[in-house]
Structures are given as C-alpha cells and as structure tokens.
Chain A
C-alpha cells in the first residue's frame, strides 16, 4: 500500500504540467520542489538522528555557489601572488561538485561538533552558515559579493542518441527537480531502513545502549551529516541553475527556518513529512500574496504553523498515520516477515 501511495504521488506530480499552464504557479512549484529536497536532507539529521542543523542553508548555498562558479568560471588572486583561473565547465559537473563540496563541509561541521553533543551542533551550524555568508558577501573577486553571480547557465544533460538537452524552460526544470526529489526520497528511504538507519535510530532513542552494542556515535552522526549536506548541496545547485542568479542573501537565516518549519509541520522522522510540510509552506505564499501584505503573510505562516502543531503535535504525516493505522509497530519496512506469518496463523 505504501508503494502504491508513492507511485500515485509521483504520477500526480508528473501530470501537473499537463493541466497547469500558469507560469507563476509553475515557478512556485519548482522552487518549492527544490526546498523540499533541502527539507528532506534536513529531516535526515533532525528526524533520524535528532540533531538540529540551524545553519542548514549553508550547505544549500555552498552547493549553489560551487555549481554556479564551476559553470561560470572565475579568475581570482590569492596571497603571495598566486592566481587561480578556472575556465567554465558544464553545469552538470558543477552539480556533482556541489554535492561533493557541500558533503565535505558537512564532514567538517560534524567533526567539529559530534565529539561533544547537545547544543554544540546547533551552535556550530549557525556559526558556519554566518561565516559562509560573510565570505560570499566579502570575497567580491570570486563571488561578486552583493552584486550577485549572474547569467548562470542552465543545466545541460546528454541524452543517449538524442544529443544534448539544455533545460531552459519551466517545464524541463520542473521534471528535473521532480526527478532529483524522487531519487533523494528513495535514497533516504533506503538509508533509513539499512543497518545504518537502525544505528541512527538506536542512537536517538538510547545512546548509551546503542554504544554498548557496538554502534559508533561519532561515525554514524558524521556520516549522516555528510549525506545530509551533500543532498542540500544538490538542491542548491538546482536552485542556482534554475534561478540563474545567486547572491549572499541565499544564506539568510530565514531560509533555514523555512526548511525547519517544513520538516516539523510535515513530521520529522517521517519520510513523507518534509514533502507534505514543504508543499504547504512552499505554496502558502502563492495563495496569500494576492490577499495579504507581506507582514501579514508572516503572521499567517506563524498562525498556520501553530494550528498544525496544536492539532497534530507530531506533525501531519506521523499523526495521520497513527490515526489511520493504529500500528503496534513503527517498523515500516522492517516488517518482520517470519513473525507476521506466524502471528497470522496464531490469530486465525
């Protein structure tokens, strides 16, 4: 039944461009999709390890800048008279580098914070995001600072037998984002249900016990941070090549908060949570814009957030799942085959 819902959802999303012609709405859907990928990556940490990254947008922004710079090329001076000159590479290479560099940054942040836990990770991630924002703002030779990197090329993909396809239109970018989102979802789902995922869950529930059966805390959390940051970097790259202009404002704290809200309302620790929460808070502005002043919109977001968490405190997806399934087990795909058969016989 789960995979049924998943396939239906994908088909529904895939059919949207067939009936939706409004470019404004398409644009909102694409950016929402990109943010949902970011929220899914945040959920891997927040929902499955319990670690709150309050600078998550840093990985997204680094992905965006790395990808943009890779495809635009640059020529910067370094101390002692060195220069780095980089000629433009295809955006798809930028996409890959965005994942790698963001992942490396996740490794660094994890290394700095996971030896001691608690509030450490929160503080390190916030500081990291601020430092990166300041670099983007002030290293004008590389990033153009507040003037922004402009004319970022669209992503080109090579189709076997069909030649190169440059994804310029909203329609093309919509399907690109949808494809990356689906891959991300599957990736995270596999991870969460692997032995690595069980290690993460064990750590979150009872760290002392988890450690006593041989689970390495530092390694597990750092790995989760690397993967999470890498995915956020991929989302940032998509953003850069879709919007085609990027400035240090991308690192704004409010962007992290948006992702956190998407995860919490949708349901942290649930795979579909960030998708549901992301759709609500990604598309809310579209509906509120015509009827409200910007300041009133912020108040409305707060109101929606409070109402959702008041009615469904665990977030939308987990609360609804509880209501409809009344499960004894929360082991979604860990469903133990051997036992369910035996139980079925017993109950029969």
Chain B
C-alpha cells in the first residue's frame, strides 16, 4: 500500500437546497492515477473546487500529504503542489502560448522584487531558466509551432493543451484534470493519454475527471464513480466495468435522455 496523498473525508456541498455532494469519502495514493467519473451534474467539478480551495465545503475535510486544506486559499493550496486544470478552457487569451507558460511558472520564478528591479545576476539567471523551462513545456505538449501565437487564437483542443501545460508549469506533485480531452480529436486524445502516463512516470499523482470511457479505462489505476453527489462504486477498471450500480447509473441516464 502506497502512502496516501489526498484524503477527502465526509465532504458535503450544498448550494441552497441543492445537494451537490454528500458524504464523499475517498483517497488517492502517491503516484496513482485515479479517475472520478459520473454523469453530468454528478458533482465532479464541485469536488475539484473543494479540493483546490475554490469552494468551501458545507461539511467535511480535505487533506493533502497530511496538511489540512480547510480555510486555505487556492493559491496556498497550489503552493502545496496541488494543481488543477479547468473544465472550461482557461488560458491567458491575450498572451502568447509561451508567455502563458511564463505566467504559469510563477511558483518557480520567485525572486525578490529588489533583485528583479536592479537586474541582479540571480534574477537574470532565474529568468533565463524560466525561458528554458517554458520552451521545454511548449515542446512537451507539442505546441512549438504555436508558441508565439496568442493563446486566445488557438483551436479548442490546442487551448486545452495550453491549460495542461500551464498546470505543469506550476510544478504539481498532484495534478487534477477536469475533462482534459473534451474537444480534442482522436489523435490529440491519443497523444494526451501518452502525456498523462508520462506525467505520472515523473512521480506526479493524478486525479482525472473524464467522460471518454475508453481513455478512463485504459489510463486509470482506480476509478471512483459519482452519481447525484454520492459515491456509488469504487475500484479497478475491471471491477467498475462490471458493477451493476454503475451500469444502472449510466444506462439510467441514457434512458431518461432518450
């Protein structure tokens, strides 16, 4: 059993009368890839918002590597190495892809203001390292040709990649990806799966929200299934594939849609 990285305990979120999450308990081990799946409106994004400090839970607690996250602001949680991406595309639209990454490298780029103003050697060498790192990241997500285009002018799939590169720039020890391949075509998705494995191989823990079932099944170590704010199943891809409650939730939703 690996050490526990993320621990979500008895978390509930109420929006007025709406119960978006109720009594949610799960853990993610160091270096694991865990997927959080469930129909639209199940509460997956809400769970991300709680974990990353964008939303205070109505009840319950979240801890990361033993640190309680309650009451911490999003930037403080990011400082613990817990970094997320967003379901809706999120880039700095009026900056180039390259400059987006320089902003994303904020955590690594901190030098004292005085050093920066005076242009001291430490600030300069830090800036040089940041540029190198930004170039590496651009290459890593395969956007070299777009490096000097405004992020807002990129295709939807490319913007999603920028979003992931931005998160990587923030040096996560755990990465939360909210529907990263939605809007990507098949080949982009394929590349992306490789990328996720790569990231994990570098020791980054991953929590993934995704609707693309083949991808989820192929990439996850474990899957947590949410429906109407409750966890209805949890286990390896094989267990989940054959779980009656899960089939019911998905088929049920399909049936009401039809």
Binding site for B on A (CB under 8 A): 187, 190-191, 194-196, 198-199, 201-202, 205-206, 208-217, 223, 328-331, 334, 336-339, 342-343
The closest CB in chain B to the CB of A200 belongs to B103
Of residues 14 to 36 in B, which have CB atoms within 8 Å of A's CB atoms? none
Verify A201–B106 contact, CB threshold 8 A: no
A76 to chain B minimum Cβ distance, whole angstroms, is 35
Interface SS of A by simple majority: helix
Task: Give A156 to B115 CA distance when docked, in angstroms.
Answer: 29
A330 to chain B minimum Cβ distance, whole angstroms, is 7
Partner of A190, one of B83, B116, B150, B166: B116
Verify B123–A209 contact, CB threshold 8 A: no
Best-buried of B95, B111, B150 by chain A (most CB within 10 Å): B95
Partner of B98, one of A195, A223, A336: A336
Query: With an 8 A cutoff between CB atoms, is B198 at the interface?
Result: no
Verify B149–A211 contact, CB threshold 8 A: no
Task: Give A212 to B87 CA distance when docked, in angstroms.
Answer: 13
Verify B103–A210 contact, CB threshold 8 A: yes
Q: Find chain A residues with CB under 8 A from B75 CB.
A: 211, 214-217
Question: Quick check: which of B4-12, B130-138, B203-211, B216-224 contacts chain A, the rest being far away?
Answer: B130-138
Verify B91–A206 contact, CB threshold 8 A: yes
Of residues 66 to 118 in B, which have CB atoms within 8 Å of A's CB atoms? 73-76, 78-79, 83-84, 86, 90-96, 98-99, 102-107, 109-111, 113, 116-118
Verify A212–B95 contact, CB threshold 8 A: no
Best-buried of A199, A213, A343 by chain B (most CB within 10 Å): A213
Partner of A194, one of B74, B123, B169: B123
Verify A336–B103 contact, CB threshold 8 A: no
- Say yes or no: A334-B167 contact (C-beta < 8 A), given A190-B117, A212-B78: no
Verify A202–B103 contact, CB threshold 8 A: yes
Verify A328–B148 contact, CB threshold 8 A: yes
- Say yes or no: A336-B134 contact (C-beta < 8 A), given A202-B103, A328-B149: yes
The closest CB in chain B to the CB of A209 belongs to B90
Q: Find chain A residues with CB under 8 A from B192 CB.
A: none
A94 to chain B minimum Cβ distance, whole angstroms, is 23
The closest CB in chain B to the CB of A217 belongs to B75
Task: Give A194 to B149 CA distance when docked, in angstroms.
Answer: 21
Verify B106–A215 contact, CB threshold 8 A: yes
Verify B135–A209 contact, CB threshold 8 A: no
What mask results when residues 36 to 52 of chain B are scored 1 for a CB within 8 Å of chain A, else 0? 00000000000000001
Q: Find chain B residues with CB under 8 A from A194 CB.
A: 111, 113, 116-117, 123
Task: Give A205 to B95 CA distance when docked, in angstroms.
Answer: 9
Verify B106–A339 contact, CB threshold 8 A: no
A114 to chain B minimum Cβ distance, whole angstroms, is 13
Chain A to chain B contacts (Cβ below 8 Å), 19 pairs: A194-B111, A194-B116, A194-B123, A195-B111, A206-B91, A209-B92, A213-B167, A213-B169, A214-B106, A214-B107, A216-B76, A328-B150, A329-B98, A331-B96, A334-B99, A334-B102, A338-B135, A339-B147, A342-B144
- Say yes or no: A329-B83 contact (C-beta < 8 A), given A194-B116, A206-B93, A336-B134: no
Task: Give A199 to B111 CA distance when docked, in angstroms.
Answer: 13
Task: Give A69 to B53 CA distance when docked, in angstroms.
Answer: 48
The closest CB in chain B to the CB of A331 belongs to B99
The closest CB in chain A to the CB of B138 belongs to A339
Query: With an 8 A cutoff between CB atoms, is B228 at the interface?
Result: no
